Chain A
Amino acid sequence: MLLDINNITRYFGGLCALEGVSFGVESGSVHGLIGPNGAGKTTLINILSGITSATSGNLRLDDQRIETFPAHKVAALGVARTFQNIRLFPVLTSLENVIAGQHLVAPRPLLPRLMCLSGTRRQEAVYQKQSMDILVRVGLGDRADFPAQHLSYGERRRLEIARALASRPRLLLLDEPVAGMRREEMLGVAALIRSLVREGMTILLIEHNMAFVMDLCSQITVLNFGSVITTGSPAEVGMHPEVIEAYLGKSDHHA
């Protein structure tokens, strides 16, 4: 178990956004997190990445307790994420966005730069090549010099994934990675996710597109009104009566 979510509860004032949420994310798997709007999916991802804190409960990443960690410390342990409402650096170019995402893995010390040491330029070239490779991998190789704000919606989503990949995470949290994408773009992202998992990355993704989720995920957790309905394989989850009820409403047997 790479990530162990244990009894996470989060209140916003009197509103209970999450209540006793527990499930585990297997190392090297694609784990789906689904549920109707307002079920608490994004709140959970925010807690996992340290952007907000849980009211109670604990989180373990490889047996290390991380629920009290601020976001940058969680990231340092190899957790990267994307955001549902895309949060790129709008005036920076695509390449610069990825370069900024390299913060944890590509140290660019100031002192050698001030002294114009010869190694700096070579090192920078290596880093830039790595960033460029990631851009090419998400299909944005020809957009390297475009400011992020001038990209199309689907391109911005892919650039956010690229920026997250730049930190070489173990666990990647994707919040609606294919929302608003065309079908071909979506298939591209699905292929990307598969190849990342083949390389040993673990992925937890929120997505409303059921075909996408059912196709990619080995495990799915269903949230409704802040509680876990069930966790299981796509087939199990699809048959679960409470899941069907949450999505389609209650069937009226007396009719």
Chain B
Amino acid sequence: MAQLSYFFSVYGSLVNFIGINALLALSLYVTLSAGQLSLGNAAFAGIGGYTAGILTTRFGVPYMMSLLAGALVAALVGFLLGMPVLRLRGVFLAMATLSFGEVVRIAAVNLKITGGAEGLMGMPTHTKTWFIYLMIIGVCYFLAKLRYSSVGWSFESIREDETAASAMGINTTYYKTLAFTIGAFIAGLAGAMYAHLNYIITPGEFGFSAAVNLLIYCIVGGSRVWYGPVLGAALLTALPEILRGIGVTAGPIRMFVNGLILLIVILFLPNGLVSLFQHRKTADASVLACVGIGEE
């Protein structure tokens, strides 16, 4: 027990970060499962975080209500953004969502209500570790059940072949928008929880590198099953600490190791780390193939 509390006093914030990153990776997993490559999920997290943070600091809204509001506002923005941009496919959708992410970041830097470049401060630190992991379990349960519902099969069909999916009676616009909205909701929830973890959030935390990191979690972990992104987020978030443990402390070498791991996974485990635990023969199903990059 004493060892456990010692562990938490040292690594508590790491455990929290792993949880938040896992939630964010799960949000991207939803969009990827419907074949849509979104780089906007970090921005949705930002929208959720700022919404919840503003509500608790300026309006005294209870913590739980602010989480719900943050997630709902992010979902609403995701829905409104999804309708026009989901006409785009593959890298074009990635570009559009990436620009959206920049718009959100720049807005957060320049608006008064978001606290500008210094960030939004003064959030009560209500987000507890057990609550983060409770949410992860909830989201994983939801996604595992979703997979074998009509919605999940429609996502799979659209990812595999959108034209064939529509010929089978699947309203592709509806389901793509749904995937985008669910993803934005989860990202918004994660962002809102993150805002109440650390007293402060800044615009830079929800920028381009955050968006790309989420994608890397999904690629490294595997984007075909719900536990892949969780695995990827856990490994890559803990990696700097693991490296510190084996004596690698300098900055640039970490990025090098990050890149190396990504490269090894893409080359040898195209379905991500989850393929180490799976026996099913499903080659060529990497996230890159599923969004149409590298198709002939």
User: Interface of A with B (CB < 8 Å)?
Assistant: 49-51, 70-72, 75-76, 80-81, 83, 87-92, 96, 99-104, 106-110, 113-114, 124, 147, 149-150, 163-164, 166-167
Q: Known: A88-B164, A91-B284, A109-B149. Is A103-B169 also a contact (CB below 8 A)?
A: yes
**In the assembly, what is the distance between CA of A100 and CA of B153, in Å?**
6
Q: Give the residue name and chain of the A residue nearest to B154 (CB).
A: A103
**In the assembly, what is the distance between CA of A163 and CA of B157, in Å?**
12
Q: Give chain A nearest CB distance to B99 CB in angstroms.
A: 28
- Other-chain residue from A51, A76, A90, A91 in contact with B169 (beta carbon distance below 8 A): A76
**In the assembly, what is the distance between CA of A49 and CA of B283, in Å?**
31
Query: Do B172 and A51 have beta carbons less than 8 Å apart?
Result: no
Given contacts A50-B166, A104-B169, 15 further A-B pairs with CB under 8 A are A49-B167, A71-B167, A83-B163, A83-B167, A87-B163, A87-B164, A88-B160, A91-B282, A103-B157, A103-B169, A106-B150, A110-B149, A110-B150, A113-B149, A164-B168
- Other-chain residue from A70, A72, A107 in contact with B150 (beta carbon distance below 8 A): A107
Q: Give the residue name and chain of the B residue nearest to A79 (CB).
A: B167
**In the assembly, what is the distance between CA of A89 and CA of B284, in Å?**
12
Query: Do A110 and B151 have beta carbons less than 8 Å apart?
Result: yes
- Other-chain residue from B149, B164, B167, B172 in contact with A108 (beta carbon distance below 8 A): B149
B145: A residues at CB distance < 8 A: 110, 113-114
Q: Known: A75-B169, A100-B168. Is A92-B156 also a contact (CB below 8 A)?
A: yes
**In the assembly, what is the distance between CA of A32 and CA of B153, in Å?**
33
Q: Give chain B nearest CB distance to A2 CB in angstroms.
A: 18
Query: Do B161 and A87 have beta carbons less than 8 Å apart?
Result: yes
B143-159 vs A, CB cutoff 8 Å, 1 = contact: the mask equals 00110111101101100
Query: Do B166 and A149 have beta carbons less than 8 Å apart?
Result: no
B171 within 8 Å of A by Cβ?
yes
**In the assembly, what is the distance between CA of A107 and CA of B169, in Å?**
12
Query: Do B285 and A72 have beta carbons less than 8 Å apart?
Result: no
B58 within 8 Å of A by Cβ?
no
Query: Do B142 and A51 have beta carbons less than 8 Å apart?
Result: no
**In the assembly, what is the distance between CA of A76 and CA of B151, in Å?**
16
B74: A residues at CB distance < 8 A: none
B283: A residues at CB distance < 8 A: 149
Of the listed residues A89, A99, A108, A109, the one surrounded by the most CB atoms of chain B closer than 10 A to its CB is A89
Q: Give the residue name and chain of the B residue nearest to A173 (CB).
A: B167
Q: Give chain A nearest CB distance to B70 CB in angstroms.
A: 22
Closest 10 CB pairs of A and B: A89-B160, A75-B169, A71-B166, A104-B169, A87-B164, A110-B149, A91-B285, A108-B150, A113-B145, A100-B157
Query: Do A81 and B167 have beta carbons less than 8 Å apart?
Result: yes
Query: Do A104 and B168 have beta carbons less than 8 Å apart?
Result: yes
Q: Give chain A nearest CB distance to B231 CB in angstroms.
A: 19
Query: Do B170 and A72 have beta carbons less than 8 Å apart?
Result: yes
**In the assembly, what is the distance between CA of A81 and CA of B281, in Å?**
28
Q: Give the residue name and chain of the A residue nearest to B151 (CB).
A: A110
**In the assembly, what is the distance between CA of A92 and CA of B156, in Å?**
9
Q: Give chain A nearest CB distance to B179 CB in angstroms.
A: 13
Q: Give the residue name and chain of the B residue nearest to A149 (CB).
A: B284
Q: Give chain B nearest CB distance to A253 CB in angstroms.
A: 47
**In the assembly, what is the distance between CA of A20 and CA of B161, in Å?**
31
Q: Known: A90-B284, A109-B150, A147-B282. Is A75-B164 also a contact (CB below 8 A)?
A: no
